[in-house]
Amino acid sequence: MKKIILIFQLLLFVLPTMGLHAQIVSDTVNNNAGDLGNILGVRIDSISNLTLTGSINGTDIGILRSMSRLIMLDMSNANIVSGGHFFTNSSTIFVTDNTIPIFMFYEIRGIQIVILPKTITTIEYGAFIRCNELKSITIPEGVTSIGQNAFLSCWRLTSIFIPSSLISYSADAFPETGITEFIISKNDTIHSTLDGVLFNKNKSKILLYPYARSNEYTIPDSVTTIGDGAFAGCRNLSKIILPNSIISIEDNAFSNCFGLTSISIPSGVTEIRDSVFNGCSALSIVIMPKTINSIGKYSFAHCSKLFPLSVPSNLKSIGEGAFLYCTRAISLNIPDSVEYIGDYAFNSCTGLTSATLPKNLQRIGNGIFSNCTSLQSIIQVSQVKSRPPL
């Protein structure tokens, strides 16, 4: 009986220790493209830290995706080459040279640290979608492009290095992440940062605001341009103050800023471009200057709390779906300066009861008031040359 008790106590001591060591199993592999599965063999399910050199193709990526205990992957001295394929998200993915392919790390929930190959130039769409445990990603100099949703829902990722070589990135490359700062190298001649916010070198253009920042932000006076998607998806921002120096707001600049409640646009701005405020569901007040002459496609779409629905007095054109699903608006008086209204401009504005069309209106799109279920009257004082059903 005493022996049984002694053995039981010994197991209680040894098993946790064995488990601790089992958690950290490291290996280094010099791979030939397509051989990783054969090299690792039965160790596939035990390795947690893997360093790869040599070449990696689509077949090898499939093996990496199957490694259930993988926590750290260092590919800094490896090359991704074309050939082979892997399966994920009900798709067959083929690989090209020097590219982190679409869905390469899709929903690999255990991976925490990834060091990318020094030779890559492109990170494709959705490469790291829902890597919930990812805390560190090393992007090398030489990367020129980062695709849409590349790091979607990487909530534990709090900072990211932006290489000076980066010239093309999607407006929503980093949505729903924990990023609070962007980091650049001291020798970067293209970018600059201020308090973790990414700018061009002379800080005349704001490029990216960290997704996870909250409360309010005042854009510096040096800024004249708000870049494409600069604040896209920053759902925790409730207030953004624009300086009078701003003269250009690019597409998607504030799209899906769910917490943004009001904004005042400086008088130097002459157009609201496509989807600038698309999806800002809490936005209720927008102060636009008289200098605005055009409102782009879907600029205020899905701004369901926007009220009143007013447009500048010198406006010339209203783009397709510009006020789609602005459901709180009750009345609409479009100024006489407007000459063009695009397709479905006020589609599904279900609270709208009356609308007045301007006398100088020349062209009008399809279904501009379609699904406006409360609309009782449309006053048309213009002689529209081309008028499809409203």
Q: CATH number, domain at 263?
A: 3.80.10.10
Which amino acid is residue 153, in one-letter code? S
- The answer to whether residues 310 and 247 belong to one domain is no
- The answer to whether residues 264 and 318 belong to one domain is no
Q: How far apart are CA 233 and CA 151, in angstroms?
A: 13
Quickly tell me which residue has 């695709």 as its tokens: 147
Q: How far apart are CA 221 and CA 219, in angstroms?
A: 7
- The answer to whether residues 335 and 385 belong to one domain is yes
Domain assignment present for residue 16? The answer is no
Q: Give the count of domains, the chain.
A: 2
What's the mean pLDDT in 62-71? Answer: 96
Domain assignment present for residue 132? The answer is no
Cβ contact 193:184 at 8 Å: yes
> Average pLDDT over the chain, rounded to whole?
91
- The answer to whether residues 277 and 195 belong to one domain is yes
List the beta strands (DSSP E) in 46-133. 49-56, 72-80, 85-88, 91-94, 99-100, 113-115, 122-123
Q: How far apart are CA 142 and CA 318, in angstroms?
A: 41
pTM of whole model > 0.95?
A: no
Q: Which residue has the higher pLDDT, 237 or 13?
A: 237
In this structure, the dihedral spanned by the alpha carbons of residues 139, 229, 178 and 235, taken in order and rounded to 10 degrees, is: -170
Domain assignment present for residue 18? The answer is no
Domain endpoint, select from 264, 286, 308: 286
- The parent domain of residue 272 ranges over 189-286
Domain endpoint, select from 235, 267, 286: 286
Domain assignment present for residue 143? The answer is no
Q: Which residue has the higher pLDDT, 377 or 323?
A: 323
What's the mean pLDDT in 114-140? Answer: 97
- The answer to whether residues 313 and 252 belong to one domain is no
The answer, yes or no, to whether residue 204 has pLDDT greater than 50, is yes
- pLDDT the model gives residue 169: 86
The answer, yes or no, to whether residue 297 has pLDDT greater than 50, is yes
- The answer to whether residues 202 and 273 belong to one domain is yes
- The answer to whether residues 339 and 383 belong to one domain is yes
Q: Which of 325, 225, 222 is nearest to 271 (CA)?
A: 225
- The answer to whether residues 252 and 302 belong to one domain is no
- The answer to whether residues 366 and 386 belong to one domain is yes
- pLDDT the model gives residue 18: 46
Q: How far apart are CA 37 and CA 346, in angstroms?
A: 56
Q: How far apart are CA 97 and CA 199, in angstroms?
A: 30
Domain assignment present for residue 3? The answer is no
The region, left, alpha or beta by phi > 0 then psi within -120 to 50, assigned to residue 40 is: alpha
- The answer to whether residues 212 and 249 belong to one domain is yes
Domain endpoint, select from 242, 259, 286: 286
Which of 19-33, 65-79, 90-104, 322-336 shows the lowest mean pLDDT across its residues? 19-33
- The answer to whether residues 313 and 264 belong to one domain is no
Angle at 365 between CA 364 and CA 367, to 5 degrees: 120
Chain mean position to CA 312: 30
Domain assignment present for residue 109? The answer is no
- The answer to whether residues 350 and 372 belong to one domain is yes
CB atoms within 10 A of CB 174: 27
Domain assignment present for residue 308? The answer is yes
Give me Rg for the CA atoms of the chain: 27
Domain assignment present for residue 314? The answer is yes
What's the mean pLDDT in 7-25? Answer: 51
The answer, yes or no, to whether residue 23 has pLDDT greater than 70, is no
Cβ contact 277:303 at 8 Å: yes
What's the mean pLDDT in 122-149? Answer: 96
